[in-house]
C-alpha cells in the first residue's frame, strides 16, 4: 500500500488541499494497482466530520470500473455516488479498512471469475482448433482413399485391356499360321 499526500508534520494522510491518494498492489505485476483518490469533507478540526469520499478510482491494467477500461484511466464518481470513509475514531477507521478489504476481495473475486472465463474460452478455442485439424485430416484420408480406389480401378482396366489386346493378337495370328502351312 502506498499513500500519497501523507503529511509527516501533522501525521495526516491529507495534504493542504484535503486530498489523499491510496494505492493498493492487487496483482503480481508492478502495474497491477488500484488507486483511490480521497477528499476530506468538513473542516478537519477535532473529531468532527472526518469523512473521506472516494472521488475517483484509478483503474489497474485489465480492470473495468464505470466504463473506464484502459490502464491508468480514471473513473470519477458523481457527488451523489461518493463512497464515504469515516475516520473520526479508531472504530470508524477500522470499519473503513474493513470496507476497503471487502472491495479488494470483490476485485479478487472478479479477477478469479475473469480468469476462469478466460480459461474456458482458451479451452473452447483449443477444442475448436482440434476439431478443425481432425476434420482436415479426415478429408485428406478420404481423398487419399478415393485416389487409391481410382488408381486400383485404372490398373484393373489396364490389365483387362492388355489381356484383350493379347487375345486379339493371338486370334489374328492363327489364320496367318494356317495360310503359311498351306502355302
Query: Picking from 15-24, 49-58, 74-83, which range would have the lowest pLDDT averaged per residue?
Result: 74-83
The pLDDT value given to residue 89: 72
pLDDT band for 46, please (50, 70, 90 cuts). Answer: very low
Helical H runs in the chain? 90-182
Name the burial class of residue 57, with classes exposed (0-12), middle (13-18) and buried (19+) by CB atoms within 10 angstroms of its CB.
Answer: buried
The pLDDT value given to residue 10: 57
* 24-28, 37-41, 111-115, 169-173: which is most confident: 111-115
Residue 18 Cα distances to 40, 77, 182, angstroms: 5, 17, 135
The model's pTM: 0.39
Task: Tally Cβ neighbours within 10 Å of residue 171.
Answer: 9
The pLDDT value given to residue 125: 95
Query: Picking from 52-56, 58-62, 97-101, which range would have the lowest pLDDT averaged per residue?
Result: 58-62
What is the rounded average pLDDT for all residues in the chain?
Answer: 71
Asked if pLDDT for residue 135 goes beyond 60, the answer is yes
Asked if pLDDT for residue 121 goes beyond 80, the answer is yes
Q: CA angle, 107 as apex, 113 and 22 as ends, to 5°?
A: 160
Instruction: Give the residue with greater pLDDT, 53 vs 173.
Output: 173
Task: Tally Cβ neighbours within 10 Å of residue 111.
Answer: 16
Q: CA angle, 152 as apex, 146 and 156 as ends, to 5°?
A: 145
Asked if pLDDT for residue 94 goes beyond 70, the answer is yes
The pLDDT value given to residue 28: 74
Q: Where are the domains of the chain?
A: 2-88, 89-164
Grid cell at residue 31: 502495474
Whether the CB-CB separation of 36 and 22 falls below 8 Å is answered with: yes
Asked if pLDDT for residue 51 goes beyond 70, the answer is no
- Give the SS3 label for residue 71: coil
Query: Picking from 20-24, 67-71, 133-137, which range would have the lowest pLDDT averaged per residue?
Result: 67-71
Asked if pLDDT for residue 146 goes beyond 50, the answer is yes
Whether the CB-CB separation of 13 and 5 falls below 8 Å is answered with: yes
Amino acid at each position: 500500500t502506498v499513500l500519497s499526500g501523507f503529511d509527516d508534520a501533522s501525521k495526516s494522510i491529507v495534504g493542504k488541499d484535503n486530498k489523499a491518494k491510496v494505492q493498493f498492489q492487487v496483482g503480481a505485476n508492478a502495474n497491477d494497482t488500484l488507486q483511490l483518490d480521497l477528499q476530506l469533507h468538513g473542516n478537519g478540526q477535532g473529531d468532527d466530520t472526518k469523512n473521506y469520499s472516494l472521488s475517483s478510482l484509478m483503474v489497474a491494467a485489465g480492470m473495468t470500473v464505470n466504463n473506464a477500461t484502459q490502464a491508468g484511466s480514471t473513473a470519477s464518481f458523481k457527488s451523489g455516488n461518493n463512497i464515504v470513509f469515516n475516520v473520526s475514531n479508531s472504530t470508524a477507521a477500522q470499519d473503513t479498512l474493513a470496507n476497503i478489504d471487502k472491495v479488494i476481495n470483490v476485485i479478487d473475486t472478479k479477477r478469479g471469475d475473469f480468469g476462469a472465463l478466460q480459461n474456458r474460452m482458451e479451452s473452447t478455442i483449443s477444442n475448436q482448433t482440434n476439431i478443425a485439424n481432425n476434420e482436415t485430416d479426415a478429408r485428406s484420408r478420404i481423398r487419399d482413399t478415393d485416389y487409391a480406389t481410382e488408381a486400383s480401378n485404372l490398373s484393373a482396366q489396364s490389365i483387362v485391356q492388355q489381356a484383350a489386346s493379347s487375345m486379339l493378337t493371338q486370334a489374328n495370328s492363327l489364320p496367318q499360321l494356317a495360310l503359311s502351312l498351306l502355302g
